[in-house]
Each structure stands twice: as structure tokens, then as C-alpha cells.
Structure 1
Amino acid sequence: MATEQNEQAQDLEQAEQQTQNETEQAEVTVEGLQEQITKLEESLKLEKARTANAVYEAQKSVERIQREAEKHKDTVLEKFAKELLDSVDNLERAIAAANEEESPVVEGVKLTLKSLLSTLEKFGVVEADTANGFNADLHQAVGIDPNAKANQIGAVLQKGYTLNNRLLRPAMVMVGA
């Protein structure tokens, strides 16, 4: 019986040790899992930050490309409009040369000029104001008109135009002294 009791005591001790070992392994496993969860959460935060940064950069790139496209469009429109102004000037000279003679050709030139000017206005090209006195931002003084008052425009030699409120071509004017 003593042997049986010793064996039972040893079995109990072994069972306790095994339970302790399993508990320690379980604790180590739980601690390890908690550490792994913490590392994964940190990794997730890092990846979220990288993703947010990539989305931000993509949005900024799209905005930059849109700004550049608008600027390019404005530049192309400006160059095109400047070239058309020569045609406007030529049509106005043709009408002036007709000396108020009414013929089908003169009428056709007037209609062509009217159509061209209305098309230019649709795209923001308008004649620069010369009625409200000299403005160095809109007019280029090329001479002095003795009959005009000081800082007033006496004669317009060539019309000026603006494109979307920006100067496209200054009006060449004679100014009073």
C-alpha cells in the first residue's frame, strides 16, 4: 500500500507539474498572441497612414494636372484670339475703306465682322474700354492729341482687347497733355 500511495503521490505531482507547464505554456501563448496582436495593430496603423498619404498625394496630383490643363487651355485660347484680332482689324479697315458705300460686298464684310466679334465674345474676348479716360493697364499711349483734355483719350489708332478681364492687346491711343 505504501508503494501504491507513493505512486499515487508521484502521479499527483506529475499531474500538477504538467498542469503548471500547460498553464505556463498557455500564459506564454496568450502573451505571445497579445504581443502579435499589438504588432499587427501597429502595422495596420502604419499601412492606414501610408494609404491616407497615397490618397492625399493622388488628389493633389489630380488638382495640379487640372490647374496645368486650365493654364494650357488659357494660353492656347490667348494665342488663338491674338491671331484672330488681325482679321478683325483687317475687316474694320475694309469697312472704313468703303467710305460708307453700301454694296453687297461691304454688307458681307460687315456681317463677317459682326459674326467674328460675337464668336470672340463667347470666349471672353471683349473690346477694351476707351471711353473712361486713359488707363495704362489697358491703353498704350503712342502720341499726344492737342485737342484732347489731360489724361483723356483723343483718338484710338487701334482697338485693344481683353480676354476674361486680362489684357490681350492694349489699345493704341493718342492722349491729351
Structure 2
Amino acid sequence: MFPMVTGFMNYGQQTVRAARYIGQGFMITLSHANRLPVTIQYPYEKSITSERFRGRIHFEFDKCIACEVCVRVCPIDLPVVDWRLEADIKKKQLLNYSIDFGVCIFCGNCVEYCPTNCLSMTEEYELSAYDRHELNYNQIALGRLPISIIGDYTIQTVMNSTQINKEKNKPPHSRTVTN
């Protein structure tokens, strides 16, 4: 009779333990139920990037002195700088500047080391193209300023969770949609 009592006690302990484990899993599920979804419906909602986001490179042709520092600091020698030496003024004249964003790793070294600040990182991240040759931007394409998604009334902008936490002190799993 003694083994039968210990068997019932073991069964009871196992039942309580199983109920506790199921309850813990259920509590985790309930804690996730009140959170807002993280998914962004991309073409109709766009996230606002942080201030240190490294997007497409913006180039100002008039500021460039063709020193080729950007080419030397680039880990893959990506920027193509064509220039000619003007004999009468003994200065380099920039002819063409291009970057292939299909190869660029967006490290930001060219922007950081440029002595004249003619290169800057923008917040533009939509660089998709059907042909990889379309990703080779010359000085004209690099000189275009990015289109602001904040001013477009047809697109909802969604802030990053880090900006929400800093500015509004909300819980980390909330999302704010602004128009």
C-alpha cells in the first residue's frame, strides 16, 4: 500500500508541475498579446530613419577638389574620380565622379575623411533597381537631394522604436504612427 501512496503523490506533483509550466507559457503568450505589431506595410508606411543612418551618398560637385581621399579610404576602392590637371592654374579639375551602389558597403569612410565635406550620407534607403547597371550613380544622380517622406501626405511615416523611447518615454514595444 505504501508504493501506491507514493505513486499518487508523484502523479500529483507531476500534475502540479505540468500545470505550472503551462501557466508560464500562457502568461508569456498573454504578455505578447497586448503589444502592437512590428510589421510595417512598406509601400504605404515608411520608417523614419535615425539621425546617424547611413543611406545613399550625396555629392556636391562644386566643393570637390579631386584629391581622391575617398578612393584611398574606401575598403573596396569604389568611387571613380576622373580629373585633369589645368596647367595654367596648376589645379585639378574634376571631370566625372561616380559610385556604384551595387558594390558599395555604406561604411561611410568616404564621407568621414572628405576634407571639403562634399560627400554626405542621406536618409534615402530606396535604391532598388531592375538592372544592376542602374545603381552606378554619376555626379548628377549623386547630386540630387533625396525625396522627403515626411512631407508626402500619401505615405504614413513610422518612427523607429529608439526614437519613440527617447522622445516620449513609452514602453519599448509600442509603435507610433503619425501623419
State TM-score, norm by structure 2. Answer: 0.31
State TM-score, norm by structure 1. Answer: 0.32
Larger strand percent: 2
Structure showing greater Rg:
1
